[in-house]
Structure 1
């Protein structure tokens, strides 16, 4: 090795060059030669690795190797051998310049740490992309875990770099680090909270990528498109993006619509308000007129027969409608609503169908429909609900009822 390190030096000295000039020229020639050698080796190794990966990918059934290439893993791995050669030959190149040799060796060791981090990052990103292709993992917060590993890797890398530059052993560095652990915890508070939250969100299956969530505190109402260590990204239905701190998912209340989407129907829960002074008992003539409505014909015939039988058995004086048992227009209308909803093609007949009367309000009597549409898609759901209420609002006058409207100011 000593002959190689002074090969050009001896030649220049023998040709009458000064000692200083010979040293610098010798160093420069060896440096250029080493650089060319490293470049050739790097290009060759990189080409071999990429070719090998492409060859394997054609025979492989998974896309893991393709993802390795996409995340530059072969390119980063190709730096390893040139780096090892550099560490071996730098002392030869700078044999007459020990100070420069020390600085460059330190720089190469720092680069070795950074290169290791690059390779780890490439592998982790490859795993992340691969896991997202698996059906059982594609909705899990993989980004959070990858970010945690990378944070620990970068922290370890920074510690090693500091130890290399300062000459302090890594164990002494860890000892000194313990003294400032409180400061580190304060600095990485959000990261730690996000990490804990990501684990809880994943274990408890609170949110998955693709879930529709509503988070009023942050103005979020849409689909979760990303879950990482510090934030959850929600694409709202107006195509805006809302960013929510991950730890807010376990510290605040939000609504996840996954249960509805996995069920057999989407709930319809809406009321129409009837004016109280339009409610009345039905006379025999009124009942006869309403029997023309096909959906409730059978009900009215049977119901009126039962009422007449009861009133006759109890000798009820029917000269006044208040006496005995009677049908009311709001009660018959409620039955009509129920029958209409049951016969609507957009309603899931296997789930609850109910028309109920709510407590009176200053505006009137709310009649609420509680049922489930068979189509859960938003646009179709809104169409089904609107179609039902279009019909019911138009049918109110047939029962001598009136809808409440807030009087307009003159």
Structure 2
């Protein structure tokens, strides 16, 4: 096709009275210069006319994706193909009498066209990847991995075509030899192949996406996923360090993804406070009257007073605490905490809400709060959790309870001094 077009151009030059097969150096130089001028004119027409007009249209459009293409200079890079094509058509004609030079220029220009085309397609792929990031498509599919794989494929195609053009052989000749080197290719591109397969699995099962908070102790990763590429997953840890994890490691090894927490709208608080066993006891009548004035306990005391009165009325010697049912300060405290967190405006009411007593230990009786905040942002979550436990520590003395605190060296010395 290329040769037919050149013959047609030679015929047109002959019809116009121009010798298309110059035999002297001056005529050759003139035709080479004319080819360069025509290539420059073609470039200016495309660059200043077509590309500039399209950029103006893009700037005035209401969509954003075309602005990203313009930002990557995709049209500008495609415009370089036009002068290269003009030179590829005209220079071999101008150098007809110089067969070696004509053949060399023809091959070099053909390779240049391939390089320019691949470079322009690379820019278009980068723009496509950025569009996917802006529209959050990358959170569902590993677009960057597919883009990198397609770039790698285009690179090999360009190399094979370029070598076949320079060697003046069919590309199929080199492709047939590639099959022999399949084992070497598998060895060299092992991580790339494993990464691509892992990327498909990660996307199909939605195991990890850009923006997810993942934790993988084996690789020291604990932070947000910034990028899922063909071979690696880039994680920015909370201390602002960067961890690069092989993509296939996320398929073969265990890791924790906190996306479920973010999507649920609730973040768990699971923390306990240890109560000193020596501070636990029955409520006196005075304490019951005082605590019954607490708003969160009014309904509790009203129900419990009737329940205990009915039970104790049927028991002999009910004035003995061991025979009757009595309210304890720790039980009343648990009831207060349950009402307190249930009415807290920062607690998720549709998720698990527990205030429970755990098995006693050498450090006292743990009272655990198992609830979910309705704000999953880290800073706000820590603030809510801190406010709740600030209140718990401050309110304990109202119930006659103390937090267990192991004695320090100075406390032990003071105890010994008191015994003396």
Aligned mates of 2:332, 2:66 — CA distance in 1:
69
- Structure 1 residues 9-408: aligned runs within 5 Å: 9=24, 23=25, 25-57=26-58, 60-134=61-135, 140-316=141-317, 318-319=319-320, 321-408=321-408
Counterpart CA distance in 2 for 1:60 and 1:343 is: 51
Structure 2 unaligned residues grouped into runs of 5+:
1-9, 411-420
User: Does structure 2 retain, via aligned residues, the 8 Å contact 1:140–1:209?
Assistant: no
CA distance in 2, matches of 1:272, 1:202: 42
Distance 1:296 1:64, change over 3 A: closer
Alpha-carbon spacing, 1:389–1:68, altered in 2? closer, same or farther (3 Å): closer
Taking the aligned partners of 1:64 and 1:339, their CA distance within structure 2 comes to: 52
Q: Distance in 2 between matches of 1:289 and 1:56?
A: 77
Aligned residues between the structures:
395
Aligned equivalents of 1:343, 1:68: Cα separation in 2: 52
Cα offset, 1:7, TM superposition: 4.6
More displaced 10-residue stretch of structure 1: 398-407 or 212-221: 212-221
Q: CA deviation at 1:205?
A: 1.9
CA distance in structure 2 between the partners assigned to 1:153 and 1:339 by the alignment: 65
Counterpart-to-counterpart distance in 2, 1:177 and 1:372: 58
**RMSD over aligned Cα, in angstroms?**
2.7
Deviation at 1:359, TM superposition (A): 2.2
Of 12, 16, 19, 1:4 maps to: 19
Identify unmatched segments of 5+ residues in structure 1: 10-22
Contact 2:21/2:97 (<8 A) preserved: no
Native 8 Å contact 2:92 2:105 kept in 1: no
Q: Check whether the contact 2:215–2:255 (CA below 8 A) recurs between aligned residues.
A: yes
Deviation for aligned residue 1:268 = 1.7
The separation in 1 between residues aligned to 2:105 and 2:379, in whole angstroms, is 66
SS in 2 for 1:125: helix
Sort the Cα spacing of 1:409 and 1:185 in 2 relative to 1 into closer, same or farther, 3 A.
farther
Deviations 1:111-138 (Å, cap 9, x if unpaired)? 1221221232233223223333436566
- What is the rounded CA distance, in whole Å, between the counterparts of 2:113 and 2:119 in structure 1? 10
TM-score by length of 1: 0.86
SS of residue matched to 2:313 = helix
